[in-house]
Amino acid sequence: MQTTLIFLKPDAVQRGLMGKILQRFEEKGLSFVGMKLVQVSEDLAKQHYAEHAERPFFPGLLKFITSSPVLACAIQGPNAVAVCRTLIGATNGQKADPGTIRGDLGMSGANNLVHGSDSPESAERELALWFTEGELTGFIKTANQWIYDPSDLD
């Protein structure tokens, strides 16, 4: 099982799309093992987006991500990073495939509804920024026997 960070960005929160977006992950068979509404501080935003610090869009990104609460989620499942990124879709909602979250609900490249860790290594780093020890549960959903073949869990 792999755990990844997903957070619903200020535009998703303000547009009232949290339930609809969360439902997509849950219906896929992924498990939520942590969740909290966070007013992102500038310090957390700078740490999270450190790799973009020198990019021209960085100041706007900081302003956007700190403008309204986000819903931070730790999501678990086999190959959770890749599965979640596929569900989210391409960065720009106008170019994202129909059937993806951004393709169905988004129209922007900047206000793009959802963040998803881009690798297992990023997920580990990001989860440590957003969740403290003890905030993530380790439960196993009993429904997993109906969602996954045992070979999916190897």
Does the annotation mark 52 as catalytic? no
How many residues are given for the chain?
154
Give pLDDT, residue 133: 86
Given 9, 24, 48, 115, which residue is catalytic? 115
pLDDT in tens, 9-68: 999 999 999 999 999 999 999 999 999 999 999 999 999 999 999 999 999 999 999 999
Domain boundaries, the chain: 2-147
Rg (Cα) of the chain, in Å, rounded?
15
Q: What band does 140 get if pLDDT is binned at 50, 70 and 90?
A: confident
Longest dimension (CA), the chain: 47
Q: Assign domain 2-147 to its CATH superfamily.
A: Nucleoside diphosphate kinase-like domain (3.30.70.141)
Q: How far is 45 from 103, CA to CA, in rounded Å? A: 25
**Predicted structure pTM score:** 0.92
Q: What's the burial of 40, exposed, middle or buried (CB within 10 Å: 0-12/13-18/19+)?
A: buried
